[in-house]
Amino acid sequence: MNLNSRCCLLVLTLAVLSTVPSANAQSYYMYVANESDDSVMLIKFDGQTFSIPDTIEVGTIGTEIEGPHGLAIDPDGSHWFVSMAHGQPNGKVVRYSTVDQRPNGSVTLGLFPASMAISSYTGLLYVVNFNLHGDMEPSSVSVVDPDAMLEVGRITTGIMPHGSAFAPDGTHHYSVVMMGHELVELDALQLMVRRRIPLGQGTQPTWVIHHPRMPIAYIAGNGSDEILIVDLESAEVSKRIPMPGSPYNLAISADGSILIATLKSAQAVSIIDLSSGIERYRISTSRPIPHGVIIEPEGQYAFVTSEGIGAKPGVVDALHITSGTMVDSIDAGQQTGGIVFWKRVDP
């Protein structure tokens, strides 16, 4: 074989190998909640395709839909928590083992417990009682000891609170008040409201996320079609990024460079470069009503849930962030919403 033939064979071999999934690819695991069929799915993504290792039935009342809504993972990854939003009348949070996917604790909270997060400082779980089906009156954030599964505090915030996020050091908790158009900052040590930051009439905020290093909060202005940037030192809105499409949930990369928003009415996801505040990509989701979004720790992929409409199941989409492309999608259950990252497994 001459030199030219050898070179051609080498190029052809490399081209073929580049299309073959890497045996050393990392795998990502996440949980997603299907609100209208009382199930939570453990989903795996291997860098190219999804699979569903397990589906966990989480309802206990045979004649009622209890509505799994929000999800959280404890810091050591040994348990996951799901808020059962509907309740009779109040909802609850149930703790499950990540080893066998079995429940091993629960606590009754307020009306429609929804989004939640765990403080890295105190280890307490903060659950927002959205009160979707109750009267239009101020609701609250429940503070739960996740070991004892005991509510240790309940802090009144406002009408229809939503979102649950912590500052990186875990000492301050943030939620938004949808009908009060406010960002609420709680002192996670004193279990009390520290500040209320007005966002503007008509904002109807639905989500908040804290920058991983800087004193900045990002708010999804669902009613005003914008992303609000709040300077937490001055307690003021410092910038508003127009975002047509009813932004609902947000995720930020670990390095703080990328913000991703689900756009409910646009059936799309927006990838925003935070250094410039410019939308880098807008990607259509594979089903209507995009809901939750997470970014895995390395910042290569985002995972997005969409609820679907009618008899159509919900779906999870995997997006490659740098290229702005859809990698894979997988059908989930009915009204897929909450999503939380569990772990990355190296080969």
At 60 the three-state DSSP class reads coil
Q: What is the pLDDT of residue 61?
A: 79
- pLDDT tier at 59, thresholds 50, 70, 90: confident
Where is average pLDDT lowest: 1-5, 139-143, 150-154?
1-5
Q: What is the pLDDT of residue 297?
A: 96
* pLDDT tens string 324-335: 999 999 999 999
* pLDDT tens string 301-329: 999 999 999 889 999 999 999 999 999 99
Q: What is the pLDDT of residue 89?
A: 83
Q: Are 301 and 321 in contact (CB under 8 A)?
A: yes
Proportion of the chain above pLDDT 70, given as a percent: 93
Q: How many CB atoms lie within 10 A of CB 136?
A: 9
Q: What is the pLDDT of residue 131?
A: 93
Contacts 24+ apart (CB under 8 A), 306-309: 306/267, 306/336, 307/35, 307/335, 307/336, 307/337, 308/334, 308/335, 308/336
Here the tokens at position 130 are: 């959205």
Mean pLDDT of the 279-307 span: 98
**pLDDT at residue 80 tops 80:** yes
* pLDDT tens string 182-238: 999 999 999 999 999 999 999 999 999 999 999 999 999 999 999 999 999 999 999
Dihedral, CA of residue 41, residue 46, residue 51 and residue 52, to nearest 10: -30
**pLDDT at residue 76 tops 50:** yes
Q: Report which of 303, 298, 261, 300 is spatially closest to residue 286, judged by C-alpha positions.
A: 303
Neighbouring C-alpha atoms within 13 Å toward the C-beta of 124: 22
Q: How many CB atoms lie within 10 A of CB 138?
A: 14
**Cβ neighbours of residue 202 under 8 Å, at least 6 residues apart?**
181, 223, 224
CA–CA gap between residue 156 and residue 200 (Å, rounded): 21
* pLDDT tens string 214-229: 999 999 999 999 999 9
Name the region of 149 (left: φ>0; alpha: ψ -120 to 50; beta: rest).
Answer: left
* pLDDT tens string 13-43: 444 334 334 445 799 999 999 999 999 999 9
Average pLDDT score over the chain: 93
Here the tokens at position 258 are: 């990328």
Where is average pLDDT lowest: 132-146, 271-285, 302-316?
132-146
pTM: 0.92
- DSSP lists the bridge partners of residue 263 as 247, 268
Mean pLDDT of the 244-259 span: 98
**Which of 16-25, 60-69, 88-97, 199-208 is predicted most confidently?**
199-208
Pairing, β 236-242 against β 140-145: unpaired
- pLDDT tier at 98, thresholds 50, 70, 90: very high
Q: What is the pLDDT of residue 134?
A: 67
Q: What is the pLDDT of residue 311?
A: 87
- DSSP lists the bridge partners of residue 33 as 40
Q: Are 270 and 243 in contact (CB under 8 A)?
A: yes
Name the region of 335 (left: φ>0; alpha: ψ -120 to 50; beta: rest).
Answer: left
Q: Are 339 and 292 in contact (CB under 8 A)?
A: yes
- DSSP lists the bridge partners of residue 228 as 219, 240
**pLDDT at residue 161 tops 90:** yes
**pLDDT at residue 114 tops 70:** yes
- pLDDT tier at 62, thresholds 50, 70, 90: confident
